[in-house]
Structure 1
Amino acid sequence: MSVISNATISKIPGISETRHLEIKFSPNLEVRSNSFKSATKIRTLIISHNRIINKIYRNSFQDLPVHSLKLTNNSISSIFPRAFSNLSLLEALQVDYNNLQEIPTGVFVNLPVKSLKLSHNKIFTIKNAALEDLSNLNKLMLDHNNLETIFLHKILKYPQRLEILWLHNNSLTAVSNYMLLKMNNLKILNLGFNPLTSIEPNSFSQTPKLNYLVLTNTHLKEIDGNVFPRTGMDYLENMYLDNSKLMYLKSNFFVGLGSLRKVTLVGNPWLCPCLTAVERILAENNVREMCAEAYTNGSRPICVNDQVNNECKPIYNEALSEKYERYKTEHPFYTPTINCIL
């Protein structure tokens, strides 16, 4: 494939008639203002696996009739204000697998985008109102970044229109009842693979239409049922609770979760009597435990026991928990981690 630089983008043969364009593996690609102004019929533009020189400049893609724009794996470290502006037909935008550290305000202007993917960057901050011009946004992917906190209603003008939110593999340590404010149409929320240690009461009262909740691979030692409202969680059918630090669930945990149908529990240092109590509640309510095969076949211990108590006492036992985690570390799976999809 020929090397394409800013000077030659406009000279690509037939670019004025091109509807689908891919630019890949160019070591010195630069995208500057009006680089693609000749591509007047473009519908899909993919720029990937290039070494773009640091930045995406103002008006780089202005006024293009593009429906899908993908900027994947290009070493982009910053984006100028109005880099994406007046793309009146744009539905999906990806700027993933790059080196972005922050999302400033004014980058996205007058875009009808429904899906925005900023995954696999180094983002630690998103400025207030940075995404407010994305009034049609219903899918936001911010996974695999360095976010420690996020308040969606501060960066989005219409958080109530968001349906899918990916926040897994960040640096979030807590979920507050302020974090998900106004997200009353959210259906899928992935908070897995974060060092979460706490979830505030009523945190999920803002998400009554939630259908999938992912809390896998966190540092949570306890989840109280008061994180959910007592009524109103009528759509929550799928919940991931596996591979965290849980030893028990409070007796009120399942109150208000009458629609729950599938759950994952494995990989936690459950106290055996407490796990039995949880499984009994699941059976009584026709909730299926999923993705437990590698544990139930004997490859891993399912629970721990102090050999003293045969009843569930909700008291955290640090010594047993650490012993369980040490066993997991010393006896790793020699097959890829279970890809569990409910």
Structure 2
Amino acid sequence: MAKANLRLLIISALICYNPVSSATFENVSVILTWRSGTQLQKNVTIRSDNTLRSHVGEFGEILIQNQNVPRLGENSISNLVKVTHLHLTNSKLREIKPGAFSNLPLLTDLNLSGNLLEEIPNGIFANLKFQTLYLDNNRISTIGDSAFNNLQMAYLFIDDNKISEWKSDWFSGTPLESVSMTNNHLKELPRLAFEFLWHLDPARDVILRNVALGYNGLQHVDPFAFEGIKMIFSLNLQNNLLTYLEPGLFDFTERIDLLDLSNNRITQLYFEAFRKTKVSQLNVHNNLIECISTDIFNTTELETVNVGSNPISCGCVKTWMEWYQRSEKPEVQNFNNVKKKCRSSSSGIRSSQVLFAFVFVYFLV
């Protein structure tokens, strides 16, 4: 009888049980800032709601930081017609459904950094007009083939993730000017990496402001990776595993203001890699280079080159010294240290030679 009553009680509880799904924003603190000439700020605590709309009002900037918002469903952040800056950071966000962002006509900056995102699926940014997107410091390893298609995005920060490949198709129809993808898992920058930019306006010169791919373990840059790019303000390939640059790598690029190749394993810089490119600043600090041909100095019109922590040979130092008798550029940073090391090495060799001669004569006598 007791067992029967217990069984009946369990069945009744299961029938009556109606699970309640938690809200998107539950006990979430939001900071709202007015961005029209005043620093008026308002703190709001959302007890339970699936959308932000009723809490934002006329404020232009939303900051949700260090909260618990694991999932954004459809229309979670929508119909915010005055919002220009949206920051949802360090809030354990794991999943974003397509349609989570909609009707944000004035949004220029979207910051989703410091979360737990592993995937950027297709369509989640559709119809948004932001110019800057922050996805840094997540766990992103998968990006949909058209995840960033047809946006107005010019600046993308996606550092400190787990991205292992680069695809031009990601950005089709998007006028990207700057991308920072440092500290990921890229091993190669593929052929036609920036092809998507050609098709925006075939009559317009393609200019990249900043490409930062440091700390990736890059081993190879395809010789046609930068085809179609006329100018790059800053190209950062530092702290990778590059051993050389392919001849003709920059044949399609007329000018690079700053090329940072520091902390790689480059043993030699070939003249052919720069034969058609003007480079203003070259950083090859901490590589394995014994010499840089003065042909590169002349062709690239270098203004500064940093050669510190390379095994520069004394013969190369002599060649550079002769070069400086005819030209004042480039400024070779750390050159004095290189010369001192060379003199010290030469003195050591001479001392050894004298000692050897003394010992040799001693034993002859």
What SS is found at the alignment partner of 1:72?
coil
Deviation at 1:6, TM superposition (A): 11
Matches within 5 A, 1:90-101: 90-101=130-141
Shift of the alpha carbon at 1:22? Answer: 0.6
Question: Structure 2: any 5+ residue segments left out of the alignment?
Answer: 1-25, 30-45, 199-205, 351-365
Q: Contact 2:27 / 2:47 at 8 angstroms: preserved in 1?
A: no
**Of residues 103, 126, 130 in structure 1, which corresponds to 2:166?**
126
What residue in structure 1 maps to residue 93 of structure 2?
A: 52
- Structure showing greater radius of gyration is 2
* Residue 56 of structure 1, CA deviation: 2.2
- 1:202 is the counterpart of 2:248: yes
Superposition pairs of residues 80-119 of structure 1, within 5 angstroms = 80-88=121-129, 90-119=130-159
The one-character-per-residue Cα deviations of 1:113-159 (angstroms, maximum 9, x if unpaired) are 1111111111102345111131x211111121111112373564115
Structure 2 residue 35 is matched with structure 1 residue 10:
no
User: Does the 8 A contact of 1:268 with 1:303 survive in 2?
Assistant: no
Higher percent of residues as strand:
2
Correspondence list, 1:99-248, <5 A: 99-134=139-174, 136-151=175-190, 153-154=192-193, 156-158=195-197, 160-229=206-275, 232-234=276-278, 236-248=279-291
Show structure 1 runs of 5+ residues with no match: 310-342
Task: Compare the two structures and name the one with the higher helix fraction.
Answer: 2
**What is the CA–CA distance in structure 2 between the aligned matches of 1:45 and 1:273, rounded to whole Å?**
57
Question: How far apart are residue 104 of structure 1 and its match?
Answer: 2.1
In structure 1, C-alpha distance between the alignment counterparts of 2:292 and 2:343, rounded to whole Å: 14
The question of whether the paired residues in 2 share the 8 Å contact of 1:18 and 1:39 is answered with: no
- 1:253: which partner in 2? 296
TM-score by length of 1: 0.78
Partner of 2:10: none
Q: CA RMSD in A?
A: 3.0
Contact 1:271–1:303 at 8 Å: present in 2 too?
no
Distance change (3 Å), C-alpha of 1:198 and 1:215: same
Describe the shift of the 1:271–1:197 C-alpha distance in structure 2 as closer, same or farther (beyond 3 A). Answer: same
What residue number does 2:12 align with?
A: none
% identical equivalent positions: 20
Asked if the contact 1:238/1:261 (under 8 Å) is kept, the reply is yes
Q: Kindly indicate whether residue 71 of structure 2 is the aligned counterpart of residue 30 of structure 1.
A: yes
Shift of 1:7: 5.6
2:64 match: secondary structure: strand
The C-alpha deviation readout for 1:185-240, integer Å capped at 9, x for no partner, is: 322211111100121111111211211111111100111111112xx434x21110
For 1:217 and 1:6, the matched residues in 2 are separated by 50
Write the distance in 2 (CA, Å) between the matches of 1:303 and 1:142: 42
Q: 1:213 is aligned with what amino acid?
A: L
